[in-house]
Amino acid sequence: MQSNDKSNVNLLWTGGWDSTFRLLQLLLQHRVPVTPYYLEDPTRPSTRIELDTMVRIGDHLRATYPHTRGLLQPIRVASVRDVVEDDEIDAALREIRRRMYIGSQYAWLPSFCKHNAIDAMELGVHVDDKVQALVRPYALESDHPDGYRHIRVDPLHAGTAEYRLFRYFSFPLFHIDKVGIDRQADAEGWSAIMDMTWFCHTPVRGRPCGICAPCLYTIEEGLARRVPVSRRVVSFFYRHLALPLKAPLRRVRASLRAGRRGSRPRAPGVP
CB 122 within 8 A of CB 11: yes
- 89 and 172, same domain (yes or no): yes
Which residues make Cβ contacts (< 8 Å) with residue 13, sequence separation at least 6? 19, 20, 23, 36, 37, 38, 54, 75
- Residue 269 has a pLDDT of 42
Please report which confidence band the pLDDT of residue 233 belongs to, taking 50, 70 and 90 as the band edges.
confident
Q: Is residue 4 part of a domain?
A: no
pLDDT tens digit sequence for 162-185: 999 999 999 999 999 999 999 999
Residue 267: pLDDT over 50: no
Residue 254: predicted pLDDT: 55
The span from the CA of 27 to the CA of 268, in Å, is 63
pLDDT digits (tens, 9 = 90+) for 95-107: 999 999 998 899 9
pTM, two decimal places: 0.83
- Percentage helix, strand, coil, to 5, in the chain? 50, 10, 35
In a shared domain, residues 176 and 229: no
Q: Which domain holds residue 126?
A: 9-196
Confidence of residue 6 (pLDDT cuts 50, 70, 90): low
Same domain, 177 and 220: no
Nearest to 118 by CA among 260, 9, 263, 254: 9
Phi and psi based region of residue 201 (left: phi greater than 0; alpha: psi -120 to 50; beta: remaining): alpha
- Domain at 89, CATH number: 3.40.50
Q: How many domains are contained in the chain?
A: 2
Among 161, 176, 196, identify where a domain stops: 196
In a shared domain, residues 29 and 44: yes
- The answer to whether the beta carbons of residues 227 and 207 sit under 8 Å apart is no
